[in-house]
Amino acid sequence: MSEHTIVSLPDQATARIPKDNYITRENGLLSWLLTSDHKRIAILYLISITFFFFIGGALAGLIRLELLTPQTDLMATDTYNKVFTMHGVIMIFFFLVPSVPATLGNFFIPMMIGAKDLALPKINLLSWYLYMAGGLLALYTMAIGGVDTGWTFTTPLSTHYVNTNVLTTGLAVFIAGFSSILTGLNFIVTIHKMRAPGMTWFRLPLFIWSHYAASILMVLGTPVLAIAIVLIALERTIGIGVFDPTKGGDPLLFQHLFWFYSHPAVYIMILPGMGVISEVISNFSRKRVFGYTAVAFSSVAIAVFGFFVWAHHMFIMGISNYAVLIFSLLSMLVAVPSAIKIFNWSLTLYKGSITFETPLLYAFGFMGLFTIGGMTGVFLGSSGTDIHLTETYFIVAHFHFVMVGGMLMAFLSGIHFWWPKMTGRMYPEKISQLAAVVTFIGFVLTFFPQFILGMLGMPRRYASYPPEFQILNVFSTAGATILGVGYLLPVLYLVWSLRYGAIAGDNPWQATGLEWQTQSPPLTENFTEMPVMDHEAYDYEWLEEQQKKEARSAG
Amino acid sequence: MSGHNEQARHIVGPGVYLVILFALLLGTALTVWASYVDLGLWNPVIALAIATTKAVLVVLFFMHVWYSTKLTKLTILAGIFMFLVLISMTLTDYISRAWGQW
Amino acid sequence: MQDSPTKSASAAHDEHPAYLRHHFSSAEQQADAAGFAMWLFLLTEVMFFGGLFTAYLIYRNWYYPAFVSGSHQLSVVWGTTNTVVLIISSFTMAMGVWCAQTGRRRGLVLSLALTFFLGLSFLGIKTIEYREKIEKHHVPGFHYSLQSFLDPQSNPEVYAEYHDKPLAPDMARHTELYFSLYFLMTGMHALHMIIGIGILGFMILRARAGAYTAGHETFVLNFGLYWHFIDIVWIYLFALLYLISRH
């Protein structure tokens, strides 16, 4: 590998972190806990979601440990049910849903559009507090015995047959849902109303388009989850009968309401990650994103179509065959916009000046793994194959490929890409590249065998399995160990970099976004004067002009 | 420049509000009366039609949407559309269950 | 972020009125954003109630006779009165907005106070209705009684009006679903009313101090949107719950 890199750091002998920035502007714990600065709120979120990620990860470790052997020898079956339920609840609602939007979205949406803050800064802070309240309630639920229904709270199990903490978990998710709604609402208002002069819709970074689409899903989908949880709570406590067959209710109604949110939720999770990938791929190929308009519209298309396909999670649950037909057909359509993005990113890379810094390594991982995950999603959308593959490890593998191989890699890509901007420091490149490769290897070893297990018929959510499945499970657990190392490394070296990392300067990646044309870390008010957008997005020629101008004025 | 927003730019007067008030009260009387008449399958249709007309009047005039930007109107339409998707696509399951296997 | 010192004080004040938050470049942008945010919030409310309307439509379709019998147990008089009360309160709220926009402080306070009292009246009537339901044991989960439906003549006033036939036992059981939805939907609506009335109280105090009649009426405008939305929900609830079939 050549030493060719686009990283351009200032002279380390004389470089200094700017004295006045959003971190140093005010001191004291209260100035963080009562802040209305979107960047500080983003950091608060970053710390909290990392915390919840490792809790969810520990639960995953317990799952994989149990599945090393065919018998339930590590924990009782009931306990295992609780472990995988809490793993799902925490990873989905307290890590994946807020991951990119609440950290990178909060930090960079105002900066990318040339604004001083989000439209509703206090609501932004409220979002974080709601998130923390929900998260702490979820932890409390774990402490008092957890819940064992699976994160999907399927009725009538959750309403009539378990005596675990469905209500407290439901309340935790309900509260976190409002955090998500308020974040999405804030983003939509900001993107519509606070763009700088000259920042037309088609000059916006694709990161913004992705977050806009995800925000539409948050605002329109999450309230339906809220009402579904309310109904479960009332069914469990009073017995209102809406999901109770003995009173004439239909348990499937809950599933319709639940999945009406939870399918768009997967797009809430992945779209912001796709936004990150657009930025990273453009920057490390030194080329504008191929087919900007297609990528922008495909984000919105994913959001819109994502609302029409939810019952593909219910093919075997008892809905009518005609509904199965309709939803299966529509599910085929929703894959198309995602595929369009993969093609456009590939064509962006083609004939680009590619360098292999860590963000791009994670982006490559994303492209490969998301493609596999997405394609297996199409296999599941086809109702004929779904009947055999659903509720097996094939599903588990599918969603981990898109969520972990896809979304989590995109998150890490974004964190590394924007780390210098957020902290003023560069992360250590060699060890981060190693961590990316380790993560990729660990991931494939963990989850690829699960596709095979699923096709062979191993059911999901089971603590025990037939002995002939053991060897693949052992591979999977071995991979999980490697994956754990891969995720631990960034925490360690990123924290290390806060003190010892190279000073990054304004624009170490020579990137084109507005956020890169200011100091690192940024000022509290982001810009000293309102920027005017006079060029297209990903305009590397414009950047060259700027750099020539600066060289001339400095010389 | 001095604080008038897009909604205040269109100050809707009491005259409009009074007309809408009477229309709404009339609609209420109409819908109650209609529920006492046996119109078979049309009863719920008429009830919903009257309710929707009342709602539209409230949205357009009490909530100033008649005078608002395209963005506001589009936002409302998006919400109504999604609401209808939720109901109608869920109903595709319930309506077709009785149709038998194929 | 300071104004250029050469501008006059009043012009500077015009460009940066006290209520203008620093992250907005103009009061117009701020008011625009606030209004748009309110509409988005109302969208979330539409979807929230949407789940309940979905449940209602499904079960009304499945158990129509039970829903008819159930709705006969509601008083059309109280329901219509409440609808009229809410519609008038929407009118007074809209008048309040007009007063705020045209600087009529006393008119605004009066309008808000009227809206407040009409809202309280609505809740008062709902309390009367709920109490009646409790007395007749029509509250799901709390000694729910099928007697009114198995033997309609045990309810003389209702029977005199509608001459309901007795329901078969399993269909009679489904009336509990009707009342679950009734309490859920009107209860959720009432909860939103209570919150609205609370905010109205706060607004009346602020209006008396002139907070909304000095060029910054955004709060009143946006609260008005919320209040009208609650009115719209009730318009549909009235039609769907009370007027199923009264002939």
Q: What is the pLDDT of residues A170-226, one digit of tens each?
A: 999 999 999 999 999 999 999 999 999 999 999 999 999 999 999 999 999 999 999
Nearest Cα residue to A390 out of A474, A477, A328: A328
Cut 0.80: pTM above it: yes
Q: Which residues of A212-249 are buried (b: 16+ CB within 10 A; e: fewer)?
A: bbbbbbbbbbbbbbbbbbbbbbbbbeebbbbbbeebbb
**pLDDT value for A555:** 58
**pLDDT at residue A119 tops 50:** yes
**pLDDT at residue A378 tops 90:** yes
Which of chain C's residues have a Cβ under 8 Å away from the Cβ of A221?
47
Distances (CA, A) of B9 to B6, C28, C113: 5, 10, 25
Average pLDDT on A443-467 reads 96
In chain A, % of residues over pLDDT 90: 95
**pLDDT value for B5:** 46
Q: pLDDT tens, A483-520?
A: 999 999 999 999 999 999 999 999 999 999 999 999 99
Where chain C has pLDDT below 70, the residues are 1-15
Nearest Cα residue to A349 out of A337, A361, A335: A361
**pLDDT at residue A294 tops 60:** yes
CA dihedral B58, B64, B69, B72 (to 10 degrees): -40
Q: Which of C22, C39, C47, C182 to mutate to test the interface with A (most CBs of A within 10 A)?
A: C47
Q: pLDDT tens, C178-216?
A: 999 999 999 999 999 999 999 999 999 999 999 898 888
Average pLDDT on A309-317 reads 96
Q: Which of A319, A328, A331, A383 to mutate to test the interface with B (most CBs of B within 10 A)?
A: A319
**pLDDT value for C247:** 76
Given CB atoms, is A189 within the 8 Å cutoff of chain C?
yes
Which of A258-272, A525-539, C89-103, C150-164 has the lowest average pLDDT?
A: C150-164
| C141:A238 CB<8 A | yes
Beta-carbon count within 10 A of C69 CB: 26
**pLDDT value for B9:** 63
Sketch the domain layout of chain A as residue ranges: 29-554
Give the one of C26, C76, C232 whose C-beta lies nearest to B58's C-beta: C232
Bond from prior residue into A359 cis (ω within 30 degrees of 0)? no
Given CB atoms, is C229 within the 8 Å cutoff of chain A?
no
Query: A335 and A374 in contact (C-beta within 8 Å)?
Result: yes
DSSP annotation of A144 reads T
Q: pLDDT tens, A17-31?
A: 999 999 999 999 999
Nearest Cα residue to C53 out of C175, C234, C185, C177: C185
CA B58/CA B77 separation, integer angstroms: 15
**pLDDT value for C221:** 95
CA A442/CA C123 separation, integer angstroms: 60
Going from the first residue of chain B to its last (102 residues), give the mean pLDDT of each consecutive group of 10, the final group possibly shorter.
48 94 97 91 93 97 94 96 97 90 64
Domains in chain C (CATH in brackets) are 36-242 (1.20.120.80)
Nearest Cα residue to A519 out of A25, A9, A108, A21: A21
Q: pLDDT tens, C129-150?
A: 999 999 999 999 889 999 989 9
| C243:B31 CB<8 A | yes
Q: pLDDT tens, A220-247?
A: 999 999 999 999 999 999 999 999 999 9
Distances (CA, A) of A90 to A5, A135, A396, A504: 38, 8, 16, 34
Beta-carbon count within 10 A of A261 CB: 26
Question: Residue A271 phi/psi, 5° resolution?
Answer: -60, -50
Sketch the domain layout of chain B as residue ranges: 1-68, 69-102
**pLDDT value for A39:** 97
Given CB atoms, is B22 within the 8 Å cutoff of chain C?
no
Q: Min CA distance, C82 vs chain B (Å)? A: 11
DSSP string, B14-58: HHHHHHHHHHHHHHHHHHHHHHTS--TTHHHHHHHHHHHHHHHHI
**pLDDT value for A278:** 97
Given CB atoms, is A195 within the 8 Å cutoff of chain C?
no
Give the one of B25, B48, B59 whose C-beta lies nearest to C84's C-beta: B25
SS3 B1: coil
**pLDDT value for C7:** 42
Tell me which of A127 and B41 has the higher pLDDT: A127
Query: A313 and A263 in contact (C-beta within 8 Å)?
Result: yes
Beta-carbon count within 10 A of A541 CB: 11
**pLDDT at residue A324 tops 90:** yes
Given CB atoms, is C25 within the 8 Å cutoff of chain B?
no
Question: Residue A459 phi/psi, 5° resolution?
Answer: -75, 155
**pLDDT at residue A127 tops 90:** yes
Given CATH 1.20.1440.230, say whether it is the number of domain A29-554: no
